[in-house]
Structure 1
């Protein structure tokens, strides 16, 4: 079995069982425990697992940091994903939904070329980033309860608002992605609004940088098959990208 095949088998086994032991993997893969340790070390360096005494578990996304802390992380990559999404998926005279995550908010800087656009958001920072586009762009924000950690509007009022919206496409980000859990986030209120936004759009587009691949979070926002397009960077694990494509997802790598 090739190293890439062993690593994929390890990830599949983790997806089914949540944790693995070195001894168990040695027997499953028919290799030495030293070889298993090397494979686990490489997977940990890729950010996909966390090694434990005698085994490994999925790398779990940490508690949600504040918006101001998140916005500067991997900023160059976020701008590349945002630019690609704006240039390839936002059409003139269309209605788009932009959730309030930091990567999606970056799209605001790349939308000036699009005429007749209507943008609907639940993000206060997204709204602020879009204010310079009016009146050429119609900017709409839902109501609801403002979360101080993300500066997004959530709760029943926000969910009900999006039930009445019909959009061409919706843009999302996520705290983590595994094939088993799908695209995941740590906050229940945030997840419910994203689900409502997803139901309101014909096409669902996920902007997710490679550092989120292999991360778990508390709740699944979208199963893999519920997302139409994933825009990511070239550092994303090739095996996971292959699994996304096998699930019918259109995977785009932003230069």
Structure 2
């Protein structure tokens, strides 16, 4: 078994059982204690688990604890920086999709200041409202079931509306980015919207501030190598950046 396959199997076990023991893993995979410890060390560095005496336990990113109103106050400068980088990948007249998020609100604000004509599809009530005065923008809001905490629409109706379109680019804001576990998020309804937006997009760009790189959330959205580009902020550690680049993941932070 290759090292990557073994690490994937370890993650599957820890997700199912909540913890793993080194002694059990050495017998299961017929490898040395040192090999398992190296595997666990790598997985810990990638944010997938936390090592403890004799084994490891599952580690989850805790972004879910905050609702929209609280999240919009966090990492404001980083979100604005990401938005300025993101709009470099948009051309006048293109069609784009934005899922509901505090980062994509900053993208919407940057769009107003830098473009005359765009088509924007979103499930976010706040993004639609942000663009309401841009009279040459075509804004398509999905409708659906309004989540009052998130200020966004979810459910089958919202998903079916998205499925009717094809857009040039999708900008997906997520809670976790991991080389092994891919792009992840917490809210099941939001993940379904993200998946639908990815399906209709010619190019998918993930937006995540540096605190979310090398972390995992509850639900997988997409494999990392299925994403065209990841945009983060300049605070990302250079070692983490180089790790992603060496693994063939295109990630920019400036």
Task: State the TM bucket, normalised to the shorter chain.
Answer: 0.7 to 0.9
Q: Are 1:123 and 1:141, in contact at CA under 8 Å, matched by a contact in 2?
A: yes
Matches of 1:91 and 1:36, distance apart in 2: 43
C-alpha distance in 2 between matches for 1:210 and 1:244? 18
Where do 5+ consecutive residues of structure 2 fail to align? 27-31
Asked if structure 1 preserves the Cα contact closer than 8 Å seen for 2:244 and 2:250, the reply is no
Secondary structure class of the residue paired with 2:168:
strand
CA distance in structure 2 between the partners assigned to 1:244 and 1:157 by the alignment: 38
Q: CA contact under 8 A between 1:83 and 1:110: conserved in structure 2?
A: yes
Q: Alpha-carbon deviation of 1:243?
A: 5.6
Q: Work out the CA distance in 2 between the residues paired with 1:175 and 1:14.
A: 22
CA contact (8 A) 1:99 1:194 kept: yes
What is the CA–CA distance in structure 2 between the aligned matches of 1:146 and 1:22, rounded to whole Å?
46
1:57-206 correspondence to structure 2 within 5 Å: 57-62=57-62, 63-86=64-87, 88-111=88-111, 112-132=113-133, 134-206=134-206
* CA distance in structure 2 between the partners assigned to 1:21 and 1:214 by the alignment: 23
Report the equivalent of 2:34. 29
- 1: CA distance between counterparts of 2:222 and 2:166? 19
Q: Point out where structure 1 has 5 or more consecutive residues left out of the alignment.
A: 1-7
Does structure 2 conserve the Cα–Cα contact (< 8 Å) formed by 1:167 and 1:202? Answer: yes
Equivalent residue of 2:77, what SS? helix
TM-score normalised over the length of structure 2: 0.79
Deviation of 1:239 (Å): 5.6
Structure 2 CA distance, aligned partners of 1:56 and 1:240?
A: 23
Contact 1:64 1:186 (8 Å CA) reproduced: no
Matched length: 238
Q: Indicate the RMSD between aligned Cα atoms, in angstroms.
A: 3.3
| Residue 216 of structure 1 pairs with residue 216 of structure 2 | yes
